[in-house]
């Protein structure tokens, strides 16, 4: 029975990638067909291959966890909260590094064996190059949040899973990790993942923001938004600058709010963006340390901002 399923799924993959058919369903994502094609042409994977995912040696897993120690610490509470919001039952919440290796997993104790049989365990390599189309690996390649539902997986072995994953970026816009929620329930519809995906996205943004604030805790940190009540929330813009007023980093929300690209701003004076000098900006922060205040951009738009911290002589390593 299992062999027949793998063969049928392999035929479907080949039919779609050869252009003889399209993925079925109103929610079908074009990124899935692109991924299937990569799996065949770039990675030379076999969709009928039924071997479990590769698991890294214990020492290498410990090294990977050490490199992301701060991220894992920040993400831990968020992962537990996400698992509770999903009512726990039938879900595993996973965090991987930028290579797709699982470094943390939150599941109900009674369901741990189910996910281990599916290959979702500490140290497992879920990169697209190893496991084909899947939530974690394809999220890393596409650099965007996505859901891979059951038969949308490349390998027939993984078609019992439904995975919703969101990338976590570092303050410099580089991929840092992937947050993923996976389910092995056969009754999990693609439509049911809309709510799950929204929660995963929110949690990923919370992890990003907390990491940004921690990474630049010894710098000036400007937090801003179009609405005063949104300053301090996950959608706020974050901008770090040093004691000389030079921009060190911005998150994606800041770039969106400013209508700018990261490369054009790094190293530039922060007051080039706003209709006030650096001394005035710092003075407003001192006078309104616990509240947000209007901040006009050079093109005349009004944002609401707060500013914290003071750069030390030595930059964050």
Do 148 and 113 lie in one domain? The reply is: yes
Q: pLDDT tens digit string along 6-54?
A: 678 777 787 877 765 556 554 467 889 899 999 999 999 999 988 889 9
The tokens describing 136, both together, are 């974690």
Domain end point (choices 213, 232, 266): 213
Beta strands in 245-292 (DSSP E): 247-250
Q: Do the domain assignments include residue 315?
A: no
pLDDT value at position 313?
A: 35
Q: Do the domain assignments include residue 316?
A: no
Q: Which of 72, 205, 214, 43 is nearest to 131 (CA)?
A: 43
pLDDT value at position 312?
A: 43
Q: How confident is the model at residue 303 (pLDDT cuts 50, 70, 90)?
A: very high
**Quick one: angle between helices 58-67 and 69-85, nearest 10?**
90
Do 254 and 187 lie in one domain? The reply is: no
Length of the chain: 317
Contact status, residue 6 vs residue 48, Cβ threshold 8 Å: yes
> Mean pLDDT, the chain, as a whole number?
90
Q: Calculate mean pLDDT across residues 79-101.
A: 93
Q: Do the domain assignments include residue 124?
A: yes
Distance CA 241, CA 310 (A): 9
First-residue to last-residue Cα distance in the chain: 55
Question: What DSSP line would sit under 58-119, residue for residue?
Answer: HHHHHHHHHHTHHHHHHHHHHHHHHHHHTTSTTEEEEEEETTSBEEEEE--GGGHHHHHHTT
Do 43 and 188 lie in one domain? The reply is: yes
Domain end point (choices 166, 189, 213): 213
Q: Do the domain assignments include residue 224?
A: yes
Q: Is the pLDDT of residue 283 over 90?
A: no
Do 59 and 157 lie in one domain? The reply is: yes
- State the burial class of residue 308 (Cβ atoms within 10 Å of its Cβ: 0-12, 13-18, 19+): middle
- State the burial class of residue 44 (Cβ atoms within 10 Å of its Cβ: 0-12, 13-18, 19+): exposed
Do 235 and 205 lie in one domain? The reply is: no
Q: How confident is the model at residue 94 (pLDDT cuts 50, 70, 90)?
A: very high
Lowest-pLDDT choice from 89-98, 162-171, 219-228, 307-316: 307-316
H or E stretch covering 167: strand 162-169
Q: Is the pLDDT of residue 97 over 80?
A: yes
Q: Do the domain assignments include residue 76?
A: yes
pLDDT value at position 14?
A: 79
Domain end point (choices 156, 181, 213): 213
Give strand pairing partners of 224.
237, 305
Q: How confident is the model at residue 3 (pLDDT cuts 50, 70, 90)?
A: low
Alpha carbon separation from 99 to 30, 96, 162, 167, 219 (Å, rounded): 23, 7, 20, 12, 29
Do 237 and 106 lie in one domain? The reply is: no
Domain that holds residue 69: 2-213
Do 185 and 295 lie in one domain? The reply is: no
Distance CA 241, CA 219 (A): 6
Q: Do the domain assignments include residue 314?
A: no
How far is CA 171 from its chain centroid? 13
CATH code assigned at 47: 3.30.450.40
Q: How many domains does the chain have?
A: 2
Do 92 and 22 lie in one domain? The reply is: yes
Do 44 and 182 lie in one domain? The reply is: yes
């Amino acid at each position: 029975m299992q062999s027949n399923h793998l063969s049928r799924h392999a035929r479907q993959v080949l039919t779609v990638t050869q252009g003889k058919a399209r993925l079925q369903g109103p929610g079908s994502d074009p990124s899935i067909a692109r991924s299937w094609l990569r799996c065949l042409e770039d990675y030379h994977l076999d969709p009928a291959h039924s071997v479990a995912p590769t698991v890294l040696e214990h020492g290498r897993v410990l090294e990977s966890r050490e490199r992301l120690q701060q991220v894992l610490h920040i993400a831990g509470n968020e992962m537990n909260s996400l698992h509770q919001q999903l009512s726990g039952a039938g879900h595993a919440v996973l965090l991987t590094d930028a290579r797709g290796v699982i470094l943390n997993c939150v599941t109900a104790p009674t369901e741990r064996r189910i996910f281990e049989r599916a290959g979702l365990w500490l140290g497992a390599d879920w990169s697209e190059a190893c496991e084909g189309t899947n939530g974690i690996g394809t999220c890393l390649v596409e650099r965007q949040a996505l859901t891979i539902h059951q038969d949308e997986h490349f390998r027939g072995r993984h078609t019992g899973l439904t995975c919703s994953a969101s990338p976590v970026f570092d303050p410099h816009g580089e991929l840092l990790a992937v947050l993923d929620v996976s389910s092995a329930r056969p009754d999990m519809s693609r439509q049911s993942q809309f709510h799950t995906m929204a929660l995963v996205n929110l949690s990923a943004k919370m992890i990003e923001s907390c990491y940004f604030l921690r990474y630049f805790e010894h710098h000036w940190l400007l937090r801003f938004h179009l609405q005063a009540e949104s300053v301090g929330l996950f959608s706020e813009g974050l901008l770090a600058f040093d004691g000389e007023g030079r921009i060190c980093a911005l998150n994606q929300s800041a770039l969106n709010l400013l209508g700018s690209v990261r490369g054009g701003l790094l190293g530039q004076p922060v007051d080039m963006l706003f209709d006030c000098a650096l001394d005035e900006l710092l003075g407003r922060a001192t006078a309104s340390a616990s509240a947000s205040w209007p901040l006009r951009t050079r093109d005349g738009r009004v944002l609401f901002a707060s500013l914290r911290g003071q750069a030390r002589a030595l930059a964050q390593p």
